[in-house]
Structure 1
C-alpha cells in the first residue's frame, strides 16, 4: 500500500497516504475508546475501497455519492460483524476481529464482476487479480493536488467532529465504558449498545478512507488489506495517545513523517515502530497524549491566559 501510493506523485502520494492512514487510525481509536482493541479495521477499509470503486466504475455514480454509499456500507458491515463479537472479552475480541477481517479479504479475493469499459477493456473486480482502471479522477480531470486539498478538509472535519463528540454526553459515556465497563453498567449505561454504535461509526470512517484510497491509487487488490494495516492503525493510537483524536494523527505523523521519511531508519522501520509501541505500552499505556498530559497542557494554557489578563487589566 505504502509504495503504491508514493508512486503516484512525489510528496502528494505520501501526503494522501498519511490522510488515509490517519482516518483508519481514527477508526481504531474509536473502538479503543470503548475498551476494545480491533485488529480488523482493514475489513471495512476494504469494503469501502471496493464498494466506492464499483459504484463509480460499473455503476457510473459520482464520487461523492459513491463515497457516501461506501461509508454507510462500512457502518452496516461493522455493526453486523461486531454484534455477535462485542460481548467477548478484550483479547478474544481482538483475535475475532482479525479473523473476520481475513474472511472479508478472502471474500474480496473471490469477487468477480466485470463489464466492458469505455476503452474496450474489462472493468470491475477480478478476484485475486484486483480491481483495475478506477479512473474517476482522471475522467473528471481532478488533479492530485485538488484531491489532496479535498481529502485534507475531510480529515479536519472528522477530527473536529470527534472533538465535539468527546464533549457531549455520548462522548462521556464512551469514555466511562472504556475505563470501566462494570462501573458504567452499574450507572445504567447500555454498554453493549454503546459499543455497537461506536463500532459502526468506526467502520464508517474506515470505509470512507478506503474509498479515498481506491480512487487515488486507481488500482486495488485484496492483498492490500492485510493484518498489518489493522495493527498499524491500533499502533498509531497507542503511540500518539488515547485521550484525544489528535493522538492517532500524532502517531501516524511520527511513523510516516519521521521514520518513513528518514533514511537513517531504512530497513528498520517496522522494528523501530514495534519497539516504540512496546515501550509506550509499558511506560505510557495510554500513549503520549494521555489524560494527564492534556490536563497539564490545559492548566498551563489557562494559567497563561490568566496572567495575560492580569497584566492587561492591572487587577489580580
Structure 2
C-alpha cells in the first residue's frame, strides 16, 4: 500500500463575516488525532504525532502533566485580559492571574517551544485545539460561584477573549511552523448539556436551565467568524447537534462514528461542503481490528449516506473516537497508526 499524497491547500473562509461553512472540496489529510495524549513530554508527544499522522498532524495536549494542562486550564491560558485560578471546585475567573494561571501559560509556552524544535519543517494541514466558548463558559465559575454560562455578559466576554487568544495562538504556531496550514478545533463536550438543561448548579443539587438553540448557534458563530482558517467543532456525545454546528459555520465536524445515528444531519453537512472527522477507533485501550476492517466499516457507513465512494477521501478524515489521554502510550500510538493505515484503504484505486 502506497503512502497517500500530501493534501492540497485548505480552502480558507471568506472575509464577509457570513456564518457559512468552509468549503472542503479537497482532502485535508486521510487521518488525524483528536487532541490529547498520555505522557508529560511535549517534544516526545509531537514526535509521535508527526510520525504517525504525516498527512494531518496536531499539537498534542498532555493533561497528565497536571492542572493547567487539562482542557479548561489550557484553554483559559489563551484568554486575553481575563484570568483564572484553581479552586477545590474547579477553575474560576478571578481579577488577576495567580500561580495556577501562570502554570497553564508555561505549559503552553513549552508546547510551542517543542513545536519549533520538532516540527519546524512541517508542511500541510496542522490542527490546534481549545475548549469551545460554551464548554469554557460551562466549566468556569464566576467569582461568586455560579457558572459563567448563566450570565450572557460573562459569556460574551469569555467568547471574545477566547477568539482573540486563539487567533494569537494560531499566529504563534504559524511563526514556528511557516509551512503549516492551521486548522482550529473547538472542543464542545458540554454543548449537549447546555442545550438540554443538564448542567448541575454550583451546589450540585439542581440543574441549570437550558439555553435556547438559536442563542447557542449565534454565540458559537461569532467565535467561528473571528478565527483564522477552517474551524472544526468536536463533540463525542451521542447528542451532538450536528445541524446547529453546521449552521454556526463549522468547516469541519468531529464526532464518534459509533454514537451518531442522525444520518440525515451528516448527509446535509456533506452536501454543504462541511468536512467530516469521524472517530473510528476507541479512545482508551481496546483490541483493535485490522485497518482494512476499520476502512470497510467507514466505507459501508459512507454508502449508507448515499454518496459516491470516490468522494469519500476528499470529505472525510479518520480519527480516534476521542482524545487518547486515558490510554497507554503504546495504545495511543497504535490507535493513530490504525487510522492512518485504514485511510489508505479508502483511497481510489
Q: TM-score range by the shorter chain?
A: under 0.3
Which of 1 and 2 has greater Rg?
1
Higher relative contact order (CA 8 A, sep 6+): 1
Q: Which structure: greater helix fraction?
A: 1
TM-score by length of 2: 0.26
Q: Which structure: greater strand fraction?
A: 2
TM-score by length of 1: 0.28
